[in-house]
Amino acid sequence: LYRYRLFNDSMNAIGRISANYNVAVFAFDLESLRPAFDSPNSLTDKRIKYGSKSLVEEIATKKGENTTLVIPDSFSLSQNYPNPFNPATKIKFELPADKFVTLKIYDALGKEVAVLVNEKKESGRYNVEFSGSNLASGIYFYQLKAGDFIETKRMILLK
């Protein structure tokens, strides 16, 4: 459960965010209905509409630092960006369901050089940063495993 209030003179919401559903209950006190003549939205109905819209947009677009509430249709692993990179790059992936996830980096000989993710993740979109500052220039592979889904992509580190 969460409680949301943007600022003192705004509406409140209480709800629950889950992989399968989102619920929000709006509430505002009677003071919120009074006209605020110092505000550009001085009419009561405009204030309520504006506040509701702002509240819904904020709740519907933010779940955490690296995720959004949009649930992907399928598993995917994106090409890292930038590629080639020096010294850091970002790797994005999507999960349509809660799964135990591993994201590992391998050198050209298949030796594991880094583990970026090794935990259960909720459905959503993720963005992980990888630093190759302690590695030599060359071709590396990154592999995402989530349940039965396995995908590997190539990246190039140029120093």
Q: How many CB atoms lie within 10 A of CB 10?
A: 16
pLDDT at residue 35, rounded to an integer: 55
Is the per-residue pLDDT at 146 higher than 50?
yes
Determine the Cα–Cα distance for residues 152 and 79; give it in Å rounded to an integer. 10
Question: Nearest Cα to 95, choosing from 127, 56, 65?
Answer: 127
Instruction: With cut-offs at 50, 70 and 90, classify the pLDDT of residue 11.
Output: very low
pLDDT at residue 47, rounded to an integer: 58
pLDDT at residue 126, rounded to an integer: 92
**Residue 130: how many CA atoms within 13 Å on its side-chain side?**
29
pLDDT digits (tens, 9 = 90+) for 14-72: 454 454 545 555 555 555 555 555 555 455 556 566 666 665 555 555 444 444 456 77
Whole-model pTM: value is 0.58
Is the per-residue pLDDT at 112 higher than 80?
yes
Q: Lowest-pLDDT range, 22-26, 114-118, 121-125, 127-131?
A: 22-26
Is the per-residue pLDDT at 93 higher than 90?
yes
